Amino acid sequence: MIKYRIVFEKKGRAKYISHLDLMRTFQRAFQRAGVKVRHTEGFNPRARISIAHPLPLGMESRCEILDFEALEPLDESLVSRLNAVMPEGIVIRELRENTRKASEIAWKRYNLRLIYDTGVPQGAAEAIARLFSSGNVVIRKKTKRGEADFNISPCINSLNVAQDGNDELLLDLVASAQSPSLNPMLIVDAIGKYLPEISPDFTRCVRVEMLDEELKPF
Amino acid sequence: MQHKLERILPKVQKPARYTGGEYNQVLKDSSKVDLRFALCFPDTYEIGMSNLGLKILYGVLNNMSGVWCERVFAPWGDMEEEMRKNSIPLYALESGDELREFDIIGFSIGYEMAYTNVLNMLDLSNIPLRSAERGEDFPLIIAGGTCAFNPEPLADFIDVFLLGEGEDLLPELVSLVHDMKGSDRLSLLKAAAKLEGVYIPTLYDVEYNDDGTVKSIVPHDGAPAVVTKRIVQDFENSYFPTETIVPSTEIVHDRTVLELFRGCIRGCRFCQAGYVYRPVRSRSAEKLRELGVSALKNSGYQEIGLSSLSTSDYRGLRELCDGLLDWCEPRNVSLSLPSLRADNFSMEIMERVQKVRKSGLTFAPEAGSQRLRNVINKNVTEEDILNTCRTAFEGGRNSVKLYFMLGLPTETDEDVLAIAELAYKIVRLWKDCAKNRAGGLRITLSTACFVPKPMTPFQWEAQVTAEEYMRRVKLLCDSMRSRAISYNWHDAETSIIEAVLSRGDRRLGRVLEEVQKTGGRMESWSEYFSFERWASAFEKYGLNPAFYANRERSRDEVLPWCHLTAGVTEDFLWSEREAAYRGEITPDCRVQCTGCGANLLYKGGGCDD
């Protein structure tokens, strides 16, 4: 039994595949590729695979990680074998032996693209940068027991704002991955609350990188 | 459009069903294909993607060079609302292109309650509903499936109907459309009418009597007087999809499906499928094992289901199950066997297949008394059912599901009460022989209101009224007091509309149009069905649903579908109806050929060899 980890991208139409459906998709892809994966015991044996940080529906990623145990040794050829049998938009980047615990992921980097159909409002980039440097950005967040106030500032390691063309702002965000983990779309919620006049018409979000405690690539 | 779509998808439930991109979808370069085909299923993605017919036609069409076939499903209410609000027309999943850009739009219609979805999907595509209102530039709208055996309510909307199995006929029609590109629509339709199995409603004039019944159906422009359905002659070697699309989201039947045979030897008199899919043709166990293993390898599915109208009647069932299990067991792949009969042989097979999981038993005796089961020719006896239950209870199973119909021809209160008696016999049997008493016994009993269907021996019958159905429901309900039995009944209102549409004529087109216009869609889903909407549409056009549903037809009435045939003769259907009233059963096709007429469709010799 060898523990492996694969790093994959999830992009395009595949960003609408939910976490549970993605697990099923990988289970079948492993079957198609003829990879012998350790299964659960019981009446309905399933492949024992885990995806450490479930990606919110509708978000793209360049750095997803999936852990599994193989019943026989694997090599780099697995990457092309799997890519030949994946649905559109899921692309395996590399195969590693799983030697680091996924719990070492402390930060995640995201790129948010804020889209303004009628052009980026004057001073929007500066206003957003100012808001998030204030150290106190509180939003209402749904919890298991109704709603609660949540200060997202401690969850933000860095946030850089730049304008891209006439209609888009590009936010480069490093956000906490645990206790608590920050859903980057809450940044957009906060803009809507504090700066309603520069709330974007649509936002695209890509998870770019998983980082450890020292902000080094995981 | 992809841009607009990206904005609405985050707002709707289960967006993955609207995106395409699944493993094994077929992508072609639209600028390099000669003909684009939109294969439409008038229900949700989850239902449509589970449909074997759709998988077959998708493969057959995409195997034609120069043809690109894509899929289209009906959006759920939330998605439809967003699409209309943002002016997004209905689009095909593979390319995202709107339906007006296609050459042919083909619907597979398996049940009447999907009719309003057909209209709604055309409406969502900005395509005029009525054939007469569509210019030459619009795609050709075609339809097939079980509903094509009486497609008259849809006659105003569909250009071409295909009767019977599409594997051969559909490519013939597509080639014709391809070859005749540039000629006018009427010439195309006239040429298409010459293909066996093609029905062009506009080439037939229908006249009515004063009492509302059909007076005559007269073909013109060289259309045949009677259109006969098509069948696949060499079923053993006909196309079967082994490289199927694997959905990235969960669907209803999320597994590999293996089609054992077409048709059914049984001849249950209420069952439309049992008559219109004749004659019986099967694949060899050897071939099926090969196809099944190949489909499993290619899809990565961990379940395979056998499909047919009556699995137990497949001659090579034991051989096939053994062969499949040899491959499946070491790979954690499970095998499921629906539609088994209640006999010892089937139980033995089931025990062998379900080595670990003890699932419940499901029976469809359809009627409570042996007398009424003889009337409908449902060849299952009380003894069969009780014996099977005994084996199951002794083996530790504790749940039984029973399905019945109320309102079958000749049904009396005694027959209704016999349903309760049968349930009580099962309760007593459990008390006598259950091995595992801890959880108690659970009997789930369901009834539905019988819908007489065209091209069956009961096509002349009156459906019982909703009031009468509910009286019988109450009678049955009051006679069952055991806590072990839970009784569910289907509402009668859906069954009435189904009965109207299944034996309806062309005048119902206006009703369908009105129902769609006033918001009718997804009518097979209780959350969308509204009887009031139908009732007011009937009233608006001065039509009475009872005329279609609750009226007994005479032998000499011109039935709206009398110019179409599935091969079984009307004389045979009538003789079966008379046998029903005498309470006589007709032996299955293996005991004796009944000479129903469908055998004549089969050029390769006798059926079921």
C-alpha dihedral, B164 to B168 to B173 to B175, nearest 10°: 170
Q: Which helix (H) or strand (E) holds B371?
A: helix B370-375
Q: Is B26 on the interface with A (CB under 8 A)?
A: no
* φ, ψ (nearest 5 deg) of residue B597: 110, -25
pLDDT band at B269 (very low <50, low <70, confident <90, very high): very high
Cβ <8 Å between B300 and A27: yes
- Estimate to the nearest angstrom the gap between the alpha carbon of B259 and the chain centroid: 15
Please report, for residues A24, B303, B479, the alpha-carbon distance to residue B336 in angstroms, rounded to integers and kept in the order given. Answer: 19, 7, 35
CA distance A141 to chain B (A): 18
Distance CA B71, CA B82 (A): 20
CA distance A27 to chain B (A): 8
Q: Indicate whether B608 pLDDT > 80.
A: no
Domain ranges of chain B: 2-228, 234-357+576-609, 358-490
Which residues of chain B make contact with A202, given a CB cutoff of 8 A? 6-7
Percent of chain B with pLDDT over 70: 98
Q: Are B593 and B606 in contact (CB under 8 A)?
A: yes
Residue with tokens 């293993």: B293
E strands, B255-298, are 256-259, 261-262, 281-282
Query: Which residue of B lies nearest to A16 if distances are taken between CA atoms?
Result: B16
Look at residue B142 and tell me whether its pLDDT is greater than 80. yes
- What are the tens digits of pLDDT across the range B270-323? 999 999 999 999 999 999 999 999 999 999 999 999 999 999 999 999 999 999
User: Which helix (H) or strand (E) covers residue B401, if one does?
Assistant: strand B399-406
ipTM for the complex shown:
0.94
What ranges make up the beta strands (E) of B191-239? 198-199, 204-208, 214-219, 227-228
Tell me the pLDDT band of B362, cut-offs 50, 70 and 90. Answer: confident
pLDDT greater at residue B354 or residue B160: B160
B6 to chain A: which residues are within 8 Å by CB? 202, 204
pLDDT (tens digit, 0 to 9) for every residue of chain A, 218 residues total? 899 999 999 999 999 999 999 999 999 999 999 999 998 887 777 888 999 899 999 999 999 999 999 999 999 999 999 999 999 999 999 999 999 999 999 999 999 999 999 999 999 999 999 999 998 999 988 878 888 898 999 999 999 999 999 999 999 999 999 988 999 999 999 999 999 999 999 999 999 999 999 999 99
Q: How far is residue A14 from each of residues A54, B44, B181, B363, B509, measured CA to CA in Å?
A: 14, 20, 37, 41, 40
A12 reaches B (C-beta below 8 A): yes
Each residue of B444-488: pLDDT tens digit? Answer: 999 999 999 999 999 999 999 999 999 999 999 999 988 999 999
Q: How many CB pairs under 8 A join A and B?
A: 72
- CB contacts, 8 Å: A89 with chain B: 21
Q: How far off is chain B from A146, nearest CA to CA, in Å?
A: 21
Give backbone dihedrals phi and psi of B394, rounded to 5 degrees, phi first: -65, -25
Residues 80-109 in A contacting B (C-alpha not used; CB under 8 Å): 85-89
Minimum-distance CB partner of A28 among B9, B15, B300: B300
CA distance A138 to A151: 4
- Of the CATH numbers 3.30.70.980, 3.30.559.10, 3.30.70.580, 3.40.1260.10, which one belongs to the domain with range A2-99? 3.30.70.580
Domain spanning B234-357+576-609 has what CATH number? Answer: 3.30.750.210
Residues B358-490, CATH architecture: 2-Layer Sandwich (3.30)
pLDDT tens for each residue of B410-428: 999 999 999 999 999 999 9
The lowest-confidence range among B334-338, B488-492, B566-570 is: B334-338
* Contact criterion met (CB < 8 Å) for A88 and B25: yes
pLDDT at residue B609 in the model: 66
Domain A105-211 fold is Alpha-Beta Plaits (3.30.70)
- The answer to whether residue B347 scores a pLDDT higher than 80 is no
Smallest CA–CA distance, residue B329 to chain A, in Å, is 11
pLDDT band at B1 (very low <50, low <70, confident <90, very high): low
* Residue closest to B344 by CA, chosen among B391, B403, B399: B391
With the CA atoms of A163, B88, A90 and A159 taken in that order, what torsion angle do they form, in degrees rounded to the nearest 10? 20
Q: Tell me the DSSP string of B92-103.
A: -TTT--BGGG-S
Asked if the C-beta of A117 comes within 8 angstroms of chain B's C-beta atoms, the answer is no
Smallest Cα distance from B14 to chain A, Å: 8
Cα nearest neighbour of B16 on chain A = A16
Task: Give residues with Cβ within 8 angstroms of B98, minimum separation 6.
Answer: B1, B89, B90, B91, B125, B126
Minimal-distance CA residue of chain B relative to A45: B332
What does the buried/exposed string (b/e) look like for B488-509 if buried means 16 or more CB atoms within 10 Å of the residue's CB? ebbbbbbbbbbbbbbbbbbbbb
Predicted pLDDT of residue B359:
64
Residue B255: what residue type?
Answer: R
Distance from the Cα of B250 to chain A's closest Cα (Å) equals: 7
Q: Which helix (H) or strand (E) holds B41?
A: strand B35-41
CB distance B549 to B499 below 8 Å = yes
pLDDT at residue B357 tops 60 = no
Tell me if B300 and A89 make a contact (CB, 8 A cut-off): no
- pLDDT in the model for residue A45: 78
d(CA A130, CA A194): 11
Q: Which residues of B157-166 are buried (b: 16+ CB within 10 A; e: fewer)?
A: bbbbbbbbbb
- Asked if residue B279 has a cis previous peptide bond (ω within 30° of 0), the answer is yes
Interface test with A, best of B3, B11, B23 (most A CBs within 10 A): B23
What is the structure's pLDDT at B341? 78
Q: How far apart are CA B548 and CA B500, in angstroms?
A: 5
Q: Locate the chain A residue with the closest alpha carbon to B93.
A: A13
Average of per-residue pLDDT values in chain B: 95
Inform me whether the pLDDT recorded for B345 exceeds 80.
no
**Chain B residue whose CA is closest to A27:** B300
**What's domain B2-228's architecture?**
3-Layer(aba) Sandwich (3.40)
One-letter amino acid for residue A88 of the chain: E
Closest CA to B76 of B121, B21, B123: B121
Domains B2-228 and B234-357+576-609 share a fold: no
B329 touches chain A (CB under 8 A): no
> What phi and psi values does residue B531 have, to the nearest 5 degrees?
-65, -35
Cβ–Cβ gap A32/B297 under 8 Å: yes
Residue B20 has pLDDT above 60, yes or no: yes
Which one of A9, A10, A13 would you mutate to disrupt binding with B, by most B Cβ within 10 Å of its Cβ? A13
Beta strand segments in chain A, E? 2-10, 49-51, 60-70, 90-97, 107-115, 138-142, 147-151, 156-164, 168-176, 202-211
Q: Find the CB nearest A13 among B21, B246, B357.
A: B21
CB within 8 Å: A25 and B19:
no
Q: What is the pTM of this model?
A: 0.95
